[in-house]
Copies of this chain bind each other. A is one copy, B any other.
Amino acid sequence: MTEFELIGRFFSRRAASAAVGNGDDCAVIAPSAGQAFAVTTDTLVEGRHFLPTIDPWKLGRRVVHVNLSDLAAMGAKPRYALLSLTLPRIDESWVTRFADGLWHALDEFDVELVGGNTTRGPLAIAMTAFGDVPPEGALLRSGANVGNEVWVSGALGDAGWALYCMIGDIKAEATADQIARYECPTARVALGLALRGIATSCIDISDGLLSEAQHLASASNVCIDIQLPAIPTGLATQLAAPELAARAQHCLLATGDAYELLFTAPETAHRDVDALLRSTGLTGACIGSVIEADTSPTVRVFDAQSRQINVATQGWDHFAHD
């Protein structure tokens, strides 16, 4: 199968709304009337962003959700995507499953795949996603105000815990739910859209709660205080077990792959945000507050006894770890 046959067979569908879709040098697309495009690109590399053993269906799905998670964090409505697929070889059954997972996720959000390319090389998948957003109404990282509450849209730590268990770094069994949290993240698109006009700042948790909170704090020039016991997680048992507590806490605060939204909103919107989370079926919670930055923007974490936790682990950085 040639490159062009591969694209034609698995990755080409007639674009419904694009002026020009697949099959030319470029796609031609435009935001909806009165809107701008929120655009993001993410590359998933084998061995770094997914295990070589991943089901290709889940990988195809994952590529979409990981990119759409960035759109969700801006309050954007997903519209289009470009795919750049680097494959070591063409394994037809692999590509079939990958494409199935990809289209399943694209269809869920009515996203049109309007182009891209395939090439040979070490397995990696780059996607660029486009979403409609009001030019002045995007959810930014920089809008958190002193007095705002800090919210997260769902459980943290489970995905990281599952990964550590799967690679044998934690000697325990992850539950099927935890593994699903790692392998099948869900972009919080509906929530992101609903948070327009309510949230003052927003980011998605791809790299770990602490580092994402630090991004919000830095961009908004504020400090953020987080109450550890308030963070929703499936790791309650592990946090209570002396021999596992440290690892569980690390997962909760510093591992990525959760793809939940972390956002700030005025105290006066507390009920609205809470209702919004319930109505979108999410287990999110208010986990902290925005306070004034005295010297520099920082993030602090407090335990149930209001003691500050000394946090050494500052989230995931692709070049800091091996």
Contact = CB atoms under 8 A, between A and B. Distances in A.
Interface of A: 1-4, 6, 19-20, 23-31, 35-43, 45-49, 70-71, 73-74, 76, 80, 82-84, 86-87, 89-90, 114-122, 124, 126, 128, 130-131, 133, 135-136, 138, 140-142, 202-204, 219, 317-320
A82 B41 contact: yes
Number of copies: 2
Nearest to A37: B29
Contact of A26 (B27, B30, B40, B320): B40
Contact of A43 (B39, B84, B90): B84
A39 B49 contact: no
Contacts of A142: 24
A22 to B, nearest CB: 11
Contact of A19 (B73, B128, B138): B138
A138 B28 CA distance: 8
A40 B28 contact: no
A241 to B, nearest CB: 32
Nearest to A316: B3
A48 B319 contact: no
B27 A39 contact: yes
Nearest to A130: B39
Contacts of A36: 19, 28-30
Contacts of A47: 121
A37 B40 contact: no
23 contacts: A3-B318, A4-B317, A19-B138, A20-B138, A24-B142, A25-B70, A25-B141, A26-B39, A27-B40, A28-B36, A28-B37, A28-B39, A28-B133, A29-B37, A30-B31, A43-B124, A45-B86, A45-B122, A48-B119, A118-B319, A121-B124, A122-B122, A126-B126
- Max chain B C-beta neighbours (<10 A), residue from A74, A84, A128: A128
Contacts of A30: 31, 35-37, 135
Given A23-B141, A45-B86, 20 more contacts: A20-B38, A26-B71, A27-B40, A28-B39, A29-B36, A39-B80, A40-B82, A40-B115, A41-B82, A41-B83, A43-B117, A43-B119, A45-B119, A46-B121, A47-B121, A84-B126, A86-B124, A121-B122, A126-B126, A128-B128
